Amino acid sequence: MTEKSLAREIEKRRTFAIISHPDAGKTTLTEKFLLYGGAINLAGSVKGKATARHAVSDWMEIEKERGISVTSSVLQFNYDGFCINILDTPGHQDFSEDTYRTLMAADSAVMVIDAAKGVEPQTRKLFKVCAMRKIPIFTFMNKLDRDARDPFELLDDIENELGIPTCPMNWPIGSGKDFKGVYDREREMVVLFSDTLKGTKEGVKEEIPLSDKDALLEALGSEAFDALMDDVELLDGAGSSFDRDEVDAGMLSPVFFGSALTNFGVELFLQNFLKMTSSPMPRVADSGEIAPVSDTFSAFVFKIQANMNKAHRDRIAFMRICSGKFNAGMEVYHVQGDKVMRLSQPQQMMASERHIVDEAYAGDIIGVFDPGIFSIGDTVCSPGQRFAFEGIPTFAPEHFARVRQIDTMKRKQFVKGITQIAQEGAIQIFHELNTGLEEIIVGVVGVLQFEVLKYRLENEYNVEIRMDTLPYGHIRWIANRDIDVDKISGTSDMKKVTDLKDRPLLLFINSWSIGMTLERNEGLELEEFSRN
Ligand code: G4P
């Protein structure tokens, strides 16, 4: 393959995650994207909540039983000359550390917000991780076909709650039963709403230029027309203006209004989003930046999905390709394992099916069979190369439980099982400092992981456990290297623990105790993420 055609393949790639609070419309929006890409023919085929999600990944018994997807999946499709990879970040109870890790593989994020609700807790959490990586964040303000909050108020909400300035790219005209359409600011064009073609590709549209006042007045009615004229004036004077550099640096979020369900404003959003985002960017390794267009293949593991086949105890390692081209059967060097190997059964997700890939490029995600050698954050590259990508941070769990085996004779299996599951990154385990107690504290990002842990210990290690929920909700790593942890004086609700790597941490019940502990211990530095 020539360098030019390699560059062409990579330049058309866009790899992003969609983040939202459950029910804001992430699945509906994804489905409409797929519709434009021709990856599916009918709306409704991505989920029909229980059934299709099921089809995407019925790998684990627990998923089958509950009809939910435990880990995130990746969808690839083509649209308008672009090759799009959407990383799904699961919500509801299946929210886990994997959800955060998936964001490490994305180059940008689409944030879906329910316009009746504004910023919600899960949006806030996921946003924080995107902000940490400084990736571009685009907002789709959804459900304008329902009564929505005032658009100026919604923008304020994003700025105040998330601390990112916004730049409205289009502007809604009314909402709910008075929803008339959006005003496209760049083209100075009013796009009229029609939901008669609900769910189809054709969606829209009649367009009227802002300058054609008579036609607008007739189409909108005087009240909506006057309101729009007022808003346009306010917007031009007040809002942040579009600045590509700021967007690229994750310091300004372009906002689009629309309605995923009625397919209004979706294509407008998709087209602009694709134009405004860049193809895969260089990634930082210990040897410096690795450019995507390169003879050298490289990738890092961001997620490991364990035990898809109980009989084999196999795992799939999901990798984000950072540079070059991947060919099925090619030899790669696993840096952390110091071994040259072949990646077997490489696969990709296409709409709701897994299929074997023959080739993939920087920006793509592949899942490979893992005989138990990969860890999260590992690098693979072309043989002869030797560099490691920056590690994936450990994220603060939010739910804690004390866990012990019921049968004391099974202590050994219990410790082995829980340690292996923690090494895979499905849970985090902690030990109380200086108590000599053998009990293990488990921390998880989403409560479903407790069930996954119980299920896996019983089924894979034959150990039954007892779990007692602990009231802690906040954990912080101690960033200071030389500190006598014994001397840290905290609040009464604070507990000192160590993690799998023996790093000291503090657990708190109340969030205000964190500030108080910082005040009491001058120089103490606490972190919400732990960079390895
Ligand atoms: P999620 O993936 O973010 O959790 O949200 P999802 O797309 O499943 O949407 C949640 C609910 O909101 C769904 O309704 C969906 O139809 C609805 N919805 C999504 N976008 C819009 C929109 O633009 N306008 C309106 N009015 N509704 C929207 P549901 O009744 O909970 O589920 P379903 O039975 O329709 O699947």
Ligand 1 geometric centre to CA of 339 (Å): 47
H helices of 431-502, in order, are: 448-461
Is residue 64 very low, low, confident or very high in pLDDT (cuts 50, 70, 90)?
A: very low
Ligand 1 geometric centre to CA of 22 (Å): 9
- pLDDT value of residue 354: 57
Residue 368 is assigned to a structural domain of this protein: yes
Cα within 13 Å of Cα(246), Cβ side: 12
CATH number of the domain bearing residue 33? 3.40.50.300
Overall residue count recorded for the chain in this entry: 532
Residue 254: DSSP 8-state: E
CA nearest ligand 1 atom 29, residue: 23
Residue 507 is assigned to a structural domain of this protein: yes
Range of the domain at 253: 16-69+108-276
- Tell me phi and psi for residue 301, to 5 degrees: -85, 125
State which ligand 1 atom lies nearest to the alpha carbon of 20: 3
pLDDT tens digits along 462-518: 999 999 999 999 999 999 988 899 999 989 999 999 998 889 999 999 999 999 999
Q: Are residues 56 and 203 in the same domain?
A: yes
**Cα 248 from Cα 233, distance rounded (Å):** 27
Ligand 1 geometric centre to CA of 91 (Å): 13
Counting ligand 1 atoms within 8 A of each CB, the residue from 73, 261, 267 with the most, and so the one to mutate, is 261
**Cα 22 from Cα 27, distance rounded (Å):** 9
The rounded percent of the chain whose pLDDT value lies above 90 is: 62
Is residue 281 very low, low, confident or very high in pLDDT (cuts 50, 70, 90)?
A: very high
Ligand 1 geometric centre to CA of 101 (Å): 25
Counting ligand 1 atoms within 8 A of each CB, the residue from 27, 28, 264 with the most, and so the one to mutate, is 28
Q: Are residues 344 and 369 in the same domain?
A: yes
**Cα 166 from Cα 253, distance rounded (Å):** 5
Q: Single out the residue of 68, 44, 102, 57 nearest to residue 260, CA to CA.
A: 44
Ligand 1 geometric centre to CA of 8 (Å): 36
Out of 245, 260, 276, pick the residue that ends a domain: 276
Name every residue whose Cβ is closer than 8 Å to that of residue 220 and which is 6 or more positions away in sequence: 173, 180, 190, 228
Q: Are residues 243 and 289 in the same domain?
A: no
Q: Would the pLDDT of 135 be above 80?
A: yes
CA nearest ligand 1 atom 4, residue: 23
Q: Are residues 241 and 190 in the same domain?
A: yes
Per the CB < 8 A criterion, the answer to whether 397 and 97 are in contact is yes
Q: Are residues 305 and 322 in the same domain?
A: yes
Q: How far is CA 429 from CA 39, 150, 401, 417, 450, in A?
A: 41, 45, 10, 12, 12
Ligand 1 geometric centre to CA of 262 (Å): 10
**Cα 504 from Cα 531, distance rounded (Å):** 14
- pLDDT value of residue 471: 96
Global confidence as pTM: 0.87
Residue 4 is assigned to a structural domain of this protein: no
Best-predicted range by mean pLDDT (62-66, 394-398, 421-425) = 394-398
Residue 356 is assigned to a structural domain of this protein: yes
- pLDDT value of residue 443: 96
CA nearest ligand 1 atom 10, residue: 23
Q: Would the pLDDT of 427 be above 90?
A: yes
User: 393-426 burial by CB neighbour count: b if 16+ within 10 A, else e?
Assistant: bbbbbbbbbbbbbeeeebeebbbebbebbbebbb
CATH number of the domain bearing residue 454? 3.30.70.3280
Least confident segment among 51-65, 94-108, 389-403, 486-500: 51-65
The rounded percent of the chain whose pLDDT value lies above 70 is: 85
Calculated CA dihedral for residues 91, 96, 98, 99, nearest 10 degrees? 30
Q: Ligand 1 in contact with 32 (CB < 6 A)?
A: no
| Mean pLDDT of the residues in the chain | 86
Kindly state the tokens that stand for 454: 């119980």
Q: Are residues 112 and 261 in the same domain?
A: yes
Least confident segment among 22-31, 59-68, 301-310: 59-68
Residue 386 is assigned to a structural domain of this protein: no
Instruction: Tell me which of 352 and 476 has the higher pLDDT.
Output: 476
Q: Are residues 181 and 325 in the same domain?
A: no
CATH number of the domain bearing residue 364? 2.40.30.10
Full strand arrangement of the beta sheet holding 315-323: 339-342, 331-334, 379-381, 298-306, 315-323, 365-370, 347-350, 353-356
Number of separate domains in the chain: 3
**Cα 36 from Cα 419, distance rounded (Å):** 45
Q: Are residues 65 and 133 in the same domain?
A: yes
- pLDDT value of residue 89: 82
Best-predicted range by mean pLDDT (37-51, 52-66, 366-380) = 366-380
Is residue 72 very low, low, confident or very high in pLDDT (cuts 50, 70, 90)?
A: very low
Per the CB < 8 A criterion, the answer to whether 17 and 86 are in contact is yes
Averaged pLDDT, 399-419 = 93
- pLDDT value of residue 176: 94
Ligand 1 geometric centre to CA of 490 (Å): 45
- pLDDT value of residue 197: 52
Q: Ligand 1 in contact with 142 (CB < 6 A)?
A: yes
- pLDDT value of residue 152: 94
Out of 256, 276, 296, pick the residue that ends a domain: 276
- pLDDT value of residue 49: 41
Averaged pLDDT, 438-452 = 88
pLDDT tens digits along 248-277: 999 999 999 999 999 899 988 999 999 999
Ligand 1 geometric centre to CA of 29 (Å): 9
Q: Ligand 1 in contact with 428 (CB < 6 A)?
A: no
Bridge-based pairing state of the strands 137-142 and 253-257: parallel
Residue 355 is assigned to a structural domain of this protein: yes
- pLDDT value of residue 437: 60
Q: Would the pLDDT of 70 be above 60?
A: no
- Tell me phi and psi for residue 417, to 5 degrees: -60, -50
Out of 222, 243, 276, pick the residue that ends a domain: 276
Q: Ligand 1 in contact with 493 (CB < 6 A)?
A: no
In 101-219, the DSSP E strands lie at 108-114, 137-142, 166-168, 170-173, 181-184, 189-192, 206-209
Kindly state the tokens that stand for 449: 């992981």
Q: Are residues 318 and 219 in the same domain?
A: no
Counting ligand 1 atoms within 8 A of each CB, the residue from 18, 19, 23, 141 with the most, and so the one to mutate, is 23
- pLDDT value of residue 36: 84
Ligand 1 geometric centre to CA of 23 (Å): 6
Query: Which burial class, exposed, middle or buried, applies to 120 when counting CB atoms under 10 A from its CB (0-12, 13-18, 19+)?
Result: middle
Kindly state the tokens that stand for 176: 């709910």
Q: Single out the residue of 105, 167, 126, 171 nearest to residue 366, CA to CA.
A: 105
Q: Are residues 346 and 295 in the same domain?
A: yes
Q: Are residues 166 and 239 in the same domain?
A: yes
Kindly state the tokens that stand for 208: 């009227």
In 233-358, the DSSP E strands lie at 253-257, 283-285, 288-290, 298-306, 315-323, 325-327, 331-334, 339-342, 347-350, 353-356
- Tell me phi and psi for residue 34, to 5 degrees: -65, -35
CA nearest ligand 1 atom 16, residue: 261
Residue 168 is assigned to a structural domain of this protein: yes
Kindly state the tokens that stand for 203: 């969606």
Q: Ligand 1 in contact with 27 (CB < 6 A)?
A: yes
- pLDDT value of residue 45: 41
Q: Are residues 152 and 123 in the same domain?
A: yes
Least confident segment among 91-100, 162-171, 306-315, 356-365: 306-315
Is residue 42 very low, low, confident or very high in pLDDT (cuts 50, 70, 90)?
A: very low
Q: Would the pLDDT of 199 be above 60?
A: no
- pLDDT value of residue 39: 60
Residue 409 is assigned to a structural domain of this protein: yes
Q: Ligand 1 in contact with 28 (CB < 6 A)?
A: yes
Q: How far is CA 72 from CA 37, 68, 449, in A?
A: 21, 11, 14
Q: Ligand 1 in contact with 117 (CB < 6 A)?
A: no
State which ligand 1 atom lies nearest to the alpha carbon of 91: 4
Ligand 1 geometric centre to CA of 99 (Å): 20
CA nearest ligand 1 atom 19, residue: 25
Residue with tokens 């134009």: 275
Name every residue whose Cβ is closer than 8 Å to that of residue 345 and which is 6 or more positions away in sequence: 356, 368, 369
Instruction: Tell me which of 349 and 184 has the higher pLDDT.
Output: 184
Residue with tokens 């941070």: 393
